[in-house]
Structure 1
Amino acid sequence: MSRKIIAASTFGQDGVSDETLQGAAQGQRAAIPDASLPSAEAAIFKVTMNLHDPNQDDLVETIFRNGTLTVVGIVLAFSLGFVTHWAANPIPWEPLDAFALFPIFIGIILQIKALSDLLDHKCLQRRPFLRANRIFMTGLILTAGGVMIAILLDFLEITKIAGTIG
């Protein structure tokens, strides 16, 4: 719920200082005594401000965005590194590996999309930033799920090979 602030100005009269109006614009309550307002010849101007202006999207601090961008880039690099390492695995590929490969690839594509969105200047606004974070988290969950399936499939393959040898 947002608060509304009412400030009064007297168009050049000594009733309200500029600091009072600036304080009201920043969300501070301005104490304006009735005795300080000039007579009826001065026009009283009321400004009603909504502290959450829907036209102005909240901004994300650049440092916070840069930290998120770094995390997304590092996690994406680990995801790509896992796929590279898994492709070089000496265990032969089987059709069952597609169950792990599909979520990993979809997750990596979503992580790349999130990285691309975070690099855009529009991502300094809150809504695009949160959207990019949701896309990244979806990609991360898919990739992590695919990695777990891949590890399980490799474990089952290793136990199957060990069972035929021993």
Structure 2
Amino acid sequence: MAEGPAGDEDAGREGSLPGAPGHLLDPTFRNGSVTAIGVVGGFSLAFLSNWTFMPGRWGGSAFVAFILLALGIAFQLRALVGMLETQSLRRVRYNRLVKVFAIGIYLTAAGVLLALVAELPVVSRYLHF
């Protein structure tokens, strides 16, 4: 059985434009991704700004956490800027930007976890179990 031209296997997939080749996304489908990336990026920036202005001295793990957070936020912002371009309506480009965003999420999560671990000695003084 012969297969159709490349890209036709995507026709009718979720988020595709009706009647368009499967390699194009419906703009409303992309809008949800833009919103999600913006919200997560906003929370990431808020955490970074609150955490960096906490009193206390920074150790080596705090610097590593800061680098991870900064890199993660940079990846998230790159994904957001890319999603705002009209080229992101192409499925290949969209999928690539989703991967960039996922890398940003992983880096940010690692930075947050490391920041929490770095603050444990300070916080443990106030915990009485």
The TM-score range, normalised by the shorter chain, is 0.7 to 0.9
Q: Is the contact between residue 91 and residue 154 of structure 1 (CA under 8 Å) also seen in structure 2?
A: no
Match of 2:28 among 63, 88, 97: 63
Q: CA deviation at 1:87?
A: 1.5
Match of 1:141 in 2: 106
In structure 1, give the amino acid aligned to 2:94. F
Match of 2:42 in 1: 77
Match of 2:97 among 109, 112, 132: 132
Aligned alpha-carbon RMSD (Å): 2.4
Aligned residues: 115
Q: CA deviation at 1:52?
A: 3.3
RCO (CA 8 Å, sep 6+): is it higher in 1 or 2? 2
**Highest CA radius of gyration, 1 or 2?**
1
- Report % sequence identity: 31
SS in 1 for 2:115: helix
User: Whose helix proportion is higher, 1 or 2?
Assistant: 2
Unaligned residue ranges in structure 2 (runs of 5+): 9-20
Match of 1:112 among 61, 66, 77: 77
Distance 1:126 1:76 in 2: 22
Superposition TM-score, scaled by structure 1 size: 0.62
Task: Indicate yes or no: 2:7 matched with 1:52.
Answer: yes
1:16-72 deviation line (CA, Å, top 9, x unaligned): xxxxxxxxxxxxxxxxxxxxxxxxxxxxxxxxxx3735xx66111111100000000
